[in-house]
Chains A and B, each alone.
Chain A
Amino acid sequence: MSADTSYASEGASDFRAGARLGLPIIVAVGPFAALFGALAIQNGFTEFQVVLMSATVFAGASQMVGLELFGQTIAPWLVVFSIFAVNFRHILYSAAVGRRMGGWTAWQKAVGFFFLVDPQYAEAERRGESGRTVGFAWYLGMALPVYVFWVFNSWLGARFGALIPDPHALGIDFLLPIYFLGLVVGFRKRPLWLPVVLVAAVVSIVAYTVIGSPWHISVGALAGVVLAAAVPPSPQARADYDDPPPDQSGQSV
């Protein structure tokens, strides 16, 4: 009985520790959630569809990408595919963070992976690297408030967005490229960043003028990814692959 109680209170304090990490995320992404809601309404979404998308997809950049494409008349499967392409990076997050979920049940993992957004991944890696346990209570403590506010702010934006009188003067139609450029610049510390940006930019512009929208997105993105894979790996990466460090082998499942 007393063991149960102390376990429960430990869970509660872990939950609170996670929630504290979620607070700045809530403030930072609140405007984007509202922006998503406002833009979605302008692109023909109902309020229900705004809430549905934020609640089930829960991935800001890809939701914005989806909107950008809804604005054009293209095949539905291409919209779905583009959203999938933007979210493809989560596969890496999932592989990395899965190694830190040692004590989790299969159900806890299934729930946890739903909430694996960029900041959630970053904080889980940071906590794991510092030697602390990445527990289910801590994880949900960070994830749930971020999730609730993401959905709520999307709905607020959907409500408020319908009241915006002149979207062009307020720049609403061009906020997405600015947001995407900000994300691109944010990735600038990654290896091969500049070559990938240059190749993806040139190829997507050429494809845009030659083939047309929306194929320029897939073609341009593919060119950047192929370039990154074609460049010979660094000696360090090569050596790690040929002779893996002990902490990365054996405990991956």
Chain B
Amino acid sequence: MSEITWIILASAVLTYLTRCGGHLVLSRFSRIHPRVEAGLNAVPTAVLTALVAPAAYTAGPAEALALVAAGLIGLRGGMMSVFFGGAAVLIAGRQFFG
């Protein structure tokens, strides 16, 4: 099997472990320490920010405009409007800036 297939299967196993592991592990404790809970709560925000920030930092004008637009739309609208709004600004910007 190719490397990609192995990566997919390993990711599938680990993803399943996160989905049943919380129940299996944390259910043994009646309480979760508030600092642990605060850290876990921050995980998705922190991971996704770490993915976006360098992309924004190295981006050209069209990409930067698209991110600003997507962020502003996100304050009002849902995921779909963010996505299509940001994509529209990006496509328009790339026509303009090349």
Contact = CB atoms under 8 A, between A and B. Distances in A.
Interface in B14-70: 14-16, 18-59, 63, 66-67, 70
Which secondary structure characterizes the binding site on chain A?
helix
Contacts of A221: 43, 46-47, 49-50
Contacts of A240: 34
Contacts of B70: 178, 181-182, 185
A76 B20 CA distance: 24
Which size class do B's interface residues fall under?
35 or more
- Closest A-B pairs by Cβ, 3 of them: A224-B46, A94-B22, A220-B50
Interface stretch (A7-15, A55-63, A134-142, A144-152): A55-63
Given A186-B79, A202-B53, A225-B42, 14 more contacts: A76-B7, A91-B40, A93-B22, A94-B24, A175-B87, A181-B52, A185-B71, A188-B75, A225-B43, A227-B42, A229-B42, A233-B34, A233-B35, A253-B28
Interface of A: 28, 31-32, 44-45, 49, 52-53, 56-59, 61-62, 65-66, 68, 70, 76, 79-80, 83-99, 101, 109-110, 113-114, 116, 168-171, 174-188, 190-193, 196-197, 199-205, 208, 213, 216-231, 233-234, 237-238, 240-241, 244, 248-250, 252-253
Contact of A94 (B20, B29, B79): B20
Which secondary structure characterizes the binding site on chain B?
helix
Contact of B74 (A56, A62, A185): A185
A203 B51 CA distance: 11
Contacts of B2: 49
B57 A205 contact: yes
Given A84-B14, A182-B74, A204-B50, A52 B8 contact: yes
Interface of B: 2-12, 14-16, 18-59, 63, 66-67, 70-71, 74-75, 78-80, 82-83, 86-87, 90-91, 94-95
B31 A181 contact: no
Contacts of B71: 181, 185
In this complex, the member of A88, A101, A222, A250 whose beta carbon has the largest number of chain B beta carbons within 10 angstroms is A88
A193 B38 CA distance: 11
